[in-house]
Amino acid sequence: MARVRMFRWTWICFWAAIAGLCALAPTEGQQQCPPLGEISPCSCTVKKNGLDILCEFTDQQHIIDAMGKLKGKTLTIFYLKLRHNNLRKLTGFIFLGLDIRHLTIHNSSLSVVEEASLSSIGKMLTQLDVSQNNLIQVPSQAIRNLNQLLILNLNHNKVTSLHSKAFQGLDTLEILTLYENKITNIETDAFVGLEKKLKRLNLGGNGLTKIPQKSLAILDMLKKLEMQENRISDIQEGDFEGLKNLDSLGLAHNKLRKVPAKVFSHLTVLNSLELDGNNIDTIDSEAFVGLEENLQYLRLGDNNIHTIPTDALKGLHRLRHLDLRSNNISYIAEDAFAGYGDSITFLNLQKNDIRTLTGVVFENLNSLETLNLQNNKLMHISEDVIEPVLDTLKVIDIVDNPLLCECDLQWYKNWLRNLRDKDDDLMQKKRAVCIMQQEHREYSLQSLPLEKMNCIIKDYGLVNAGRGEICRPIGFLATTGTVLYVTVMLF
Ligand SMILES: *[C@@H]1O[C@H](CO)[C@@H](O)[C@H](O)[C@H]1NC(C)=O
Ligand SMILES: *[C@@H]1O[C@H](CO)[C@@H](O)[C@H](O)[C@H]1NC(C)=O
């Protein structure tokens, strides 16, 4: 009996739920595409939040006509995408009477945005993408009423200068991207109006030669600033003053030669700093002052650095990821990682000129998980040097080094042996080899002929055996369950 009642209740609930959905439905149900062909050559599909309308490879008149057909129908156009058109000019009132939430005008030769073209959709528009067009300046008059806008994309245009108050009115804007324009000049008040909400700013791929400090200084809420691929040759103390919430700074692929003292000292919450692909050869010992408490990612690859900049890095006790690939480092001092190495989990030294690794060089790297030494000039990597990090290491890459076949490379061979069942594929892709000089041939480290080399063969398998000279076990192999693998790191 109880069961029948339960059953009945289940049904009642079920129908009640359906009725509830139906009650909601009429508002959603109104979203219907116009009859087939009516807005041709544009097409329409119904999406969860409204219509998705696409007009491609057509011209201004067809677009104006299609917009006319959509008017007065109380539709929500969630996406209006105009791509690959001939739409040199966006005329006044073209969208009058429409409710558009996301507007894209992409690769359509757009160069004129008339003042009254967008104001009618300002109350609803949250995203505006006018990328890959011919705009030579920010259409400030046309966009200033877009007071719900969150994202503005002006990438791949021909903007040469950001004039004063270019974005005024966009009080809600959170993301502004101007990647790949031709900006060489940013006026002091260019970003006025964006100070309360702007979180991300992309000025990459332009022609800036210095940091537009005064314009940027008002952006209190900015978290991510991208200025990669410009022509900035010089940065100095005070350049980032005001950016007190900045989390990520991208200065890769500029023309920097020096990182001077205290240049980032105002960026006290900075987490990630990209300086790769410059010509940096000098890093002041106080270069990273101010970043001590938060910096975790530091990219210094593709520069002209000759030594690990230990003095500069010393205070960075949160540093996890240090990338020094493709530099000109030939020698690593034994105390190179003293003071800050403890927190590093990722260290990339590939494509340098490193010839030797001596003594206790890795001793401070107590958290190291990934070590990339690929493509250096190393002839020996002895167990003594590598042993301090073997406990924590999950990935090591030593391919492309002129290693000599020596008994002291047994640790690697043994490591591979333990890996064999785990990730054979990966190992087959790229093998570390050593050179057997007497025989003028190479051996894979995996099949080092230890007997022929008259090595004392260490027995790594005996975990608890006496820790004598000969069979000192490498603790990590037997004691941790970590899946270790040699990775071909694809950088
Ligand atoms: C841009 O649009 C034109 C048509 O106007 C098209 O031929 C061209 O392939 C498009 N370019 C890209 C990169 O999509
Ligand atoms: C690398 O450094 C050595 C000396 O330390 C120098 O002779 C060489 O020119 C440098 N190479 C580059 C590409 O700067």
pLDDT band at 358 (very low <50, low <70, confident <90, very high): confident
Residue 428 pLDDT exceeds 80? no
Give the per-residue pLDDT at 474: 37
Residue 196: CB atoms within 10 Å: 12
Residue 107 Cβ contacting ligand 1 at under 6 Å: yes
For the CA of 86, the nearest atom of ligand 1? 5
Residue 429: CB atoms within 10 Å: 10
Q: Which ligand sits nearest to residue 377's alpha carbon?
A: 2
Give the per-residue pLDDT at 393: 83
Q: Which ligand sits nearest to residue 58's alpha carbon?
A: 1
Under 8 Å between Cβ of 336 and 309: no
* Rg of the chain, C-alpha, whole Å: 31
Average pLDDT score over the chain: 86
Give the per-residue pLDDT at 391: 77
Residue 22 pLDDT exceeds 70? no
Residue 5 pLDDT exceeds 90? no
Mean pLDDT of 314-331: 96
Residue 16 pLDDT exceeds 90? no
Residue 138 pLDDT exceeds 80? yes
Residue 279 Cβ contacting ligand 2 at under 6 Å: no
User: Closest residue (by CA) to atom 1 of ligand 1?
Assistant: 84
CA distances, 252 to each of 52, 226, 300 (Å)? 37, 9, 9
Residue 290 pLDDT exceeds 70? yes
Among 45, 48, 14, 129, CA closest to 83: 129
Q: H/E element holding 258?
A: strand 258-259
Among 119, 112, 107, CA closest to 83: 107
- Indicate the range of 111-125, 249-263, 393-407, 474-488 predicted with least confidence: 474-488
**Gap from CA of 107 to ligand 1 centroid (Å):** 6
- Indicate the range of 173-177, 315-319, 482-486 predicted with least confidence: 482-486
Tokens of 358: 């001596």
Residue 188 Cβ contacting ligand 2 at under 6 Å: no
Residue 304 Cβ contacting ligand 2 at under 6 Å: yes
- Which of 107, 130, 131 best tests ligand 1's pocket when mutated (most atoms within 8 Å of CB)? 107
Comparing 474 with 278, the larger pLDDT belongs to 278
Residue 84 Cβ contacting ligand 1 at under 6 Å: yes
For the CA of 328, the nearest atom of ligand 2? 1
For the CA of 109, the nearest atom of ligand 1? 5
User: Closest residue (by CA) to atom 6 of ligand 1?
Assistant: 84
Residue 328 Cβ contacting ligand 2 at under 6 Å: yes
Give the per-residue pLDDT at 430: 59
Under 8 Å between Cβ of 111 and 85: no
Give the per-residue pLDDT at 7: 46
